[in-house]
């Protein structure tokens, strides 16, 4: 087993509260019957949530993602994932706590871009 796979497994076992809350809405094809996986290696990265059939990646971000070096890293990472055909959606930790309905609305808009919210 490679290091990325081991790290991904550890991240799944030690998910943040926010990741667990979002996973409870996405797992078992509960969201539009789409299959999401969590903490999946892609290239040099591990993504928080991925739906290969809809080509969506969801990243749950904490405040450290506002630091300049992380902004650059995330930009490079997003560009790589976009080049593979994925749409990357970034959701802040506090959004999951304070506005889970808004998070679902964002995901709905990505799945059904012509649907009015």
* Residue 63 pLDDT level (bands cut at 50, 70, 90): low
* Residue 19 pLDDT level (bands cut at 50, 70, 90): very high
The domains of the chain, with CATH numbers, are 3-111 (3.40.960.10)
**Quick check: 39 and 11 in contact, CB under 8 A?**
yes
* Residue 43 pLDDT level (bands cut at 50, 70, 90): very high
The confidence score (pLDDT) of residue 90 equals 94
The confidence score (pLDDT) of residue 71 equals 82
**Quick check: 51 and 34 in contact, CB under 8 A?**
yes
The confidence score (pLDDT) of residue 67 equals 66
pLDDT averaged over every residue in the chain: 89
56 sits in the region (left: phi over 0; alpha: psi -120 to 50; else beta) called beta
**Quick check: 46 and 40 in contact, CB under 8 A?**
yes
Per DSSP, what are the bridge partners of residue 42?
45
pLDDT at 66 over 90: no
The confidence score (pLDDT) of residue 72 equals 85
What pTM value is reported for the model?
Answer: 0.88
């Amino acid at each position: 087993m490679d290091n990325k796979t081991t790290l991904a497994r550890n991240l799944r076992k030690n998910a943040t509260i926010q990741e667990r809350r979002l996973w409870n809405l996405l797992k078992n094809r509960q969201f539009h019957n789409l299959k999401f996986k969590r903490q999946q290696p892609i290239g040099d990265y591990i993504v928080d949530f991925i739906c290969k059939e809809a080509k969506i990646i969801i990243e749950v971000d904490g405040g450290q993602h506002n630091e300049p070096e992380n902004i650059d890293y995330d930009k490079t990472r997003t560009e790589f994932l976009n080049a593979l055909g994925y749409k990357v959606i970034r959701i802040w930790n506090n959004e999951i706590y304070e506005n889970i309905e808004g998070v679902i609305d964002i995901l709905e808009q990505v799945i059904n871009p012509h649907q009015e919210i």
